[in-house]
A and B are shown apart, each in its own frame.
Chain A
Amino acid sequence: MIDQDLTQQAFTTILKHFVATGRAPHYGELANALEVGMEEAREVQRAAVEASPIASCWLAHDTDHIESYAPFSNVPTQYLISVDGTRKWYGQCGMESLAVRWLFPGQEVVVESRCLDCGESIRVRARDEEILEIEPETAVGYMPSPFAASRVGSAAFN
């Protein structure tokens, strides 16, 4: 049984690692950061992933490697994130990309993506509360209801 405090520490550590490096830590790095053994790190990583609300984090199939950890993705997506001019992160999805700004207080976060219909660019620039630019201004986001009964607990709706 994994301790809840340790699960919370792992959750935060993984997110901070993403913020600092643009990628998820390996569980070996997590073991080092949390000062626990490798096996315990794997278990606590799983616990942290499973504890995430509405299945917003998941591991790559049949592995102990983080694939997606809201609001970031550990594999390339069409949501390219730059912070103060440095492009280093991938957003998990279009909407979660809009939540990346909360992890970089006071910094300018730019989300660059492509319209799924025509392939033309979509760009959102934000700093904290303020949305500085949406290009084009008509841009919309489509999301299946995360609270639909068939989707709760499933990563599939992402």
Chain B
Amino acid sequence: MNLFRSEEHLKRWLHHFHAVNDYVLSVGDWAEVFGASMFRKRLEPDYLARAPEYLEDYRRALHATGKTLPPPDRVLSTVMFTDIVDSTKVATLAGDSKWRSLLTRHNDISRSQLQHFGGREIDQIGDGFLSTFNSPARAIRCATAICRAMPSIGLQVRAGVHSGECEVIGDGLGGIAVHIGARIGALAGSNEVLVSQTVKDAVIGSDISFDDRGAHDLKGVPGQWQLYVVVS
């Protein structure tokens, strides 16, 4: 939630994926929206009890402004898939209650790293996340941070990163680039971040290095795909 000196400045900055219904308003209009009871009544002694009602006020105030971004058809984006390795086995060993707690911690860690590296959570798929970034290097760093953090709670994660044009479908994302990212992620080993040639080429000049993992068939995707594992 950022401020810009004008809409022109915003347009220059906003070259990456945005979701349908993202809001762009003058600061004066925002000041009005943020005058809704949800923000005005935070010190009221029954604030939390009335939060659902205040939230509805806020939703109405936002919708009343009516100024949202138009839906782009296709956007260039970097997709990152993460997934817990051997989740069924770990869940069975842990038992339902502990597994739920582990999943909560896994989600907290993942979301915290997404926030830190400027990623956007698109969907939770199985025991992992589909997220997007406007920078492949940040996606790699985020995936690496998530893989490094998970052993501290007894989990192993695999991750795949790919950059390409994606279709914007409501708040979600689709298209072949998303499928490719998912296939790459599925080929990664425990605590590994696997990336496509596209991603490797895009981060030339960064301090990220890779080992070649050879050419692979990705189920349902034409051609052979050269994949690389992130080593630092």
Interface residues of B in 7-58 (CB under 8 A from A): 7, 9-10, 12-14, 18-19, 21-28, 30-31, 33-35, 38-43, 45-49, 51-52, 54-55, 58
Is B88 positioned at the interface, with any CB of A under 8 Å from its CB? no
**Are A136 and B6 also in contact (CB < 8 A) when A99-B34, A150-B121 are?**
yes
Cα-based distance from A93 to B27 in the complex (angstroms): 13
Stretch at the interface among B107-115, B198-206, B211-219: B107-115
With A8-B49, A149-B171, A154-B111 as contacts: A139 and B31 at CB distance below 8 Å: no
Q: Mark A3-15, 1 if CB is under 8 A from B, else 0.
A: 0100110011001
How many chain B residues touch A (CB < 8 A): the figure is 60
Decide if B221 is an interface residue (CB 8 Å cutoff). no
Q: Check B5 against A138 for contact (C-beta < 8 Å).
A: yes
> B34 near A115 (CB under 8 angstroms)?
no
- Total interface residues on A, CB under 8 Å, equals 56
Complex contacts, A138 vs chain B, CB 8 Å = 5-7, 26
CA gap between A116 and B10 in the complex, in Å: 8
B172 within 8 A of A: yes
Interface string of B162-178 (1 = CB under 8 A from A): 00000000011000000
> Contact between A155 and B49 (Cβ–Cβ < 8 Å)?
no
Enumerate B182-201 residues with CB–CB distance to A below 8 Å: none
A156 lies within 8 A of chain B by Cβ? yes
| Residues in B whose Cβ lies below 8 Å from that of A144 | 1, 18-19, 22-23, 120
A-B contact count (CB 8 A): 185
**B48 in complex: contacting residue of A16, A51, A129, A140, CB < 8 Å:** A51
Known pairs A94-B2, A124-B31, A142-B14; list 15 more (Cβ under 8 Å): A52-B51, A93-B2, A94-B30, A99-B40, A102-B35, A115-B4, A139-B27, A140-B7, A140-B24, A140-B27, A141-B23, A142-B22, A142-B24, A143-B23, A155-B115
- Which 4 pairs across A and B sit closest by C-beta, in order of nearness? A99-B39, A93-B1, A117-B9, A138-B6
Q: Which B residues have a C-beta under 8 Å from some C-beta of A? A: 1-7, 9-10, 12-14, 18-19, 21-28, 30-31, 33-35, 38-43, 45-49, 51-52, 54-55, 58-59, 62, 68, 108-109, 111-115, 119-123, 171-172
